[in-house]
Every structure is written in C-alpha cells, then in structure tokens.
Amino acid sequence: MSLTLRPHPHRVAPDGPLIFVVMDGVGIGRGDEGDAVAQAYTPTLDWLRSLPSSTSLAAHGTAVGMPSDGDMGNSEVGHNAIGAGRVFEQGAALVEQSIGSGALFEGEVWRWLIEGVRASGEPLHFIGLLSDGNVHSHIDHLLAMLRRAARDGVAKARVHVLTDGRDVPGRSALGFIERLEAVLGQLRTQGFDYAIASGGGRMYLTMDRYESDWAMVERGWNVHVRGRGRKFASASEAVKTLYEEHPELDDQSLPSFVIADQQGAGEPLGPIRDGASVVFTNFRGDRALEITRAFEQEEFEPFDRSPRPEVRYAGMMQYDGDLGLPSRFLVAPPEIDNTMGELLARAGKRQLAIAETHKFGHVTYFWNGNRSEPFDPALERYVEVRSDIDPLAERPWMKAAEVTDALLEQLRAPGPKFDLARLNYANGDMVGHTGDLRATMLAVEAVDLCLARLVRATKVLGGVLIVTADHGNADQMFDGAGQARQVRTSHSLNPVPLVIFDPREADGGPVLTLPERPGLSNLAATSLAILGFTPPQQYDPSLIS
C-alpha cells in the first residue's frame, strides 16, 4: 500500500477540523427498559440521528476480526478497525487458530517454558481471566494448554484465576471454575499435580490498565507470586464465601484469595518461585501490560516486588510492540500497518488524540494499529485527562466535560490548526459495566451534553463532526425478562450509530453510500474522503462518494 495520499477528485477538506467522536459502549438497542441509551434524555444524539447522514454500523464478530458473529466487539478491536480502515484477524481468532493447528505448542516459546520447569521441578503457572467472554481471554485456551502441558510431561501446574463478571454475566465465576476443576481433577487422576493456586476479581487485582491503579497489580503480585492472602480450601469455596459476605459485589470486584493445603489451613499451593515458568493467558494487551512489566522489567518503581522470582515468563501475545513486552509470547499479534493516522502524518496533517485515562490507549495505541508513539511528534499531540479511581456508578459523568474542555482548548489555541481531532467518551462503556441502569443513563446523558458543545464548536470552527461508537454496552443492561431477568455487565452484539454532521451540506450531512454490511472499518476511508483525500484501494470503502 502506498503511503502517499492523493487528492480526492471532487471532495474538499473543511476549513476547520474533522472531529471524530467515539461514544464508547453506546450501541443501538431494542429501546426497552434495559436500554440505557434509549431511556436516557439525549436531545443532541436524537437530533444527530435524525440527519440523512445517519446509519448503523456492525461493531462485533467478523466485522471487527473476531472468530464468529457470536463474539462481542470490544474497545480494542473497535479502535483497531476504525484506525486501520480494514479488518484484521484479532487476538481471539489468532490464538484459536494457533491452538487448533498445534502451532502454539510447536513454537520455540512453548518449548522454552516446558524445558524450564522440567529442569527446575517448579510448576508451570497460568495467570489470566477465567471466562469464555473472548474479549481478553477464553477458558478453552487455558484448558488446551493444561492438557498439552500434561502430554509434554509437566508434572506440576498452578492456575491463578481472575474472575470476570464483566464480559460475561456478573456472577458466573462458579461455572467456569467448575469447568476448570473438572479438567484439573482428570489430570490429577493421571498422576499430575495440577491445581488452582489463587484468584480474585479482575477489577480488584492484577488487571489494571494505563497505570490507573498500580495497587491492583500489587494485590495480584501478593497472591500470585507471594502466596499471601486469605486462605481457602478451594476456589469454589472462596467464591461462594465471598458471595455470601459481599452480596453487593459481582465477580469482577471479588477480593483476592489464596488456595492452601490441609483444607485451607496449611501452606499456599502455588507461590511463584525461582525456576518456575509463567504464562499470562490473556491475549488482549491493555490489562496484561502492567503485570508483565512487574515480571520482566529490571528497573521497576510502582511497588516493591521483592522477592522477585527468576522465572521464564511469556504472554499469550505481545502486549506492546513498541516496548517489546513481553519479550517472549506464544502467538504473534496482528501486524497492522498503514493506518489512517500514519497516512495523515505522511501527508503533513496535524492530528489530536484525547481521552481520559480509561480509554486513552484506545485513541492512541489501538487506533494507531497497536503503536504507542506518534508517527510524527511534530504533527501529533496526545492529551490524557486523568481518570478518577472512585466508583464509577457514583460518578457516571466521569471526565467527559474535562475531555471536552481540553479538546476545545486545543482546537481554539493560536498557531497551526489540527486537521483531525479524535476523542473517546468512556462513560457508556465503563459505567455500563457496573450493571447500574440509572447510573448508565446518567453516563449517556453526560455524553449527550458534551455532544451539544461539539455541534456548536463544529459550526463555529467550520469543521465536520463524526459521531459513532466502538461497540455496544449501555444499550443492553439486562438479559432475559420477568423472573429470569439478569443484570448484564458485558458488551452487547448490537450495532452502533454513525452520524456525519457537515454544516456545509444543505441537509446537515452528506448522502451515504452503504455496502451490504457497513462496519467500523469503513470509517477510515470515509474520514480521508472528508479531509479531501482519495482513500487507498486496500481500505474498506468510504461511506461517502
């Protein structure tokens, strides 16, 4: 693909910026009582969606590189698709293929891990999210690796489970633990010493991202590595006890626990010691990077790791190519090149990316095809608004207003102007994950207030406004109906909105030309066309001619 953009045959860039808004987790639901988007007061979004340049986009499954259309989209793959202009097979599909073909187990890294524990006698440890959500991980991948480890003669294995309740139903951990325990039990009958060693909720330990709360990672280090924590005889007992003690909590927020011998009264079953091998089983990188740094980086300041064991560590995939972390990984990540951001940088166009901490990496790293740094620092500016760590359901407005303030300050500043400004409002997704319907309605309303400001700014600045989402969440807060109704904290399979507001157009926006199944990957070509460029032929087609 050529890195040189050619002028569009008839489209001319606006005088002002193209403002590209991702309303994270704001999909198009059924409009029922569990649809927080439909239930919220959203006059600006309603007006935008009344424009002729409004449609819906596929944001899940094969449309964003997942294995099947039964797989939810997520912020990582959604921003990849938006920025890349094409659909790349993502982590879930790549890992599934590698396990299915046997390539993962034939690779140098798997052999290196196995050889290490054969020589040391220490266990092979697996740490990761335990569910079938297929957003960060999949339990089937873990079970396949456990079975193969036994075939390869690994005598001892320990599993450190992170309960989900976010990409799957809120209190579904016991079902996944029972599946895992069944396989571990089968392997124990064959003479292998395989067991669960520790665990806790994904939003309580280990899986922090964007350096928002290093204390989470330290809590994970304490239970996984040091074996320090409240002791239980089994993971099932731990979860059942914590459910009873904390009826207000779901799986994602469960306190940490350690499994010990002698029915929970003895020594921890699985501290990670010198000579062990460790696999972090998540394929998605954002919530795997910090624990990886703790295992791999020689210079490390966020918390005291001592004793830091000498281990062989590998990730399911490489989580940050720029940082080279982890240094060893089982499956190569997708190679995403020639993103919209790179093409615009090569064309000398100035770009602004802004979001609060929760989604900052999405409008930078994931948008740029899994690249942390700007393509041209002289032309690109990345602005992070620090997120609060307070409970999101208590502050559903989050930092939407501050993100908008910072955006408008940058766009109005004297000096060279930005051609593309991209931003993410995290509210719909982050608050949607709490399962709190009322709070999620308020979150959507906070975003709508900010959209009103952006509509006015687009007119004043002479720009164009694109409003869309990366996946659904707030649009489906319940599963089932009646007595069978359950709170849903995971993403939805619903489409997401797209609106292009262009004040130059008589009807408020351009006429759209839609393929059979328009998706997020069509937005890069669409954006380039708005900016006066002919999109590359390799991109999925523009939605405007």
Residues forming CATH 3.40.720.10 domain(s) in the chain: 22-89+336-483+492-534
- 90 compared with 208, residue with greater pLDDT: 208
- 332 compared with 126, residue with greater pLDDT: 126
Lookup: tokens for 152: 């390869």
198 catalytic residue (yes or no):
no
Residue pLDDT, tens place only, 486-529: 899 889 999 999 999 999 999 999 999 999 999 999 999 999 99
Q: Annotated binding residue at 246?
A: no
**For residue 481, pLDDT beyond 90:** no
Global pTM value: 0.84
Assign 452 a pLDDT band (cuts: 50, 70, 90).
very high
Q: Annotated binding residue at 359?
A: yes
Q: Annotated binding residue at 470?
A: yes
Q: Annotated binding residue at 8?
A: no
Which one of the listed residues 50, 56, 68, 75 is annotated catalytic?
75
Mean pLDDT (the chain) is 95
329 neighbors 321 (Cβ within 8 angstroms): no
Q: Annotated binding residue at 285?
A: yes
Query: What pLDDT was estimated at residue 335?
Result: 87
- For range 72-77, the mean pLDDT: 91
Assign 1 a pLDDT band (cuts: 50, 70, 90).
low
Domain 93-315 has CATH 3.40.1450.10: yes
**For residue 147, pLDDT beyond 90:** yes
At residue 302, φ and ψ (nearest 5 deg) are: -55, -35
Assign 91 a pLDDT band (cuts: 50, 70, 90).
confident
Half-sphere exposure of 375 (CA within 13 A, CB side): 22
Q: Which residues contact 319 (CB under 8 A, 6 or more apart)?
A: 285, 286, 288, 289, 292, 325, 326, 329
3-state secondary structure of 454: helix
- For range 424-440, the mean pLDDT: 96
338 neighbors 2 (Cβ within 8 angstroms): no
At residue 384, φ and ψ (nearest 5 deg) are: -105, 130
Residue pLDDT, tens place only, 463-477: 999 999 999 999 999
Query: What pLDDT was estimated at residue 90?
Result: 87
Q: 468: closest CA among 519, 517, 430?
A: 519
Query: What pLDDT was estimated at residue 68?
Result: 87
Q: 286: closest CA among 35, 80, 497, 117?
A: 80
Q: What are the start-end ranges of the E strands in 373-480? A: 380-385, 420-425, 464-468, 478-479
Q: Annotated binding residue at 152?
A: no
Residues forming CATH 3.40.1450.10 domain(s) in the chain: 93-315
Residue pLDDT, tens place only, 363-375: 999 999 998 899 9
DSSP string, 116-178: HHHHH-PPEEEEEEESS--SS--HHHHHHHHHHHHHTT--EEEEEEEE-SSSS-TT-HHHHHH
**For residue 87, pLDDT beyond 70:** yes
Query: What pLDDT was estimated at residue 323?
Result: 80
Q: Annotated binding residue at 167?
A: yes
Strands 6-7 and 533-534: antiparallel
Q: Annotated binding residue at 284?
A: yes
Domain 22-89+336-483+492-534 has CATH 3.40.720.10: yes
Residue pLDDT, tens place only, 17-63: 999 999 999 999 999 999 999 999 999 999 999 999 999 999 999 99
Q: For 85-126, where are the alpha helices, taking DSSP H only?
A: 91-101, 103-106, 108-120
**For residue 78, pLDDT beyond 80:** yes
Query: What pLDDT was estimated at residue 164?
Result: 97
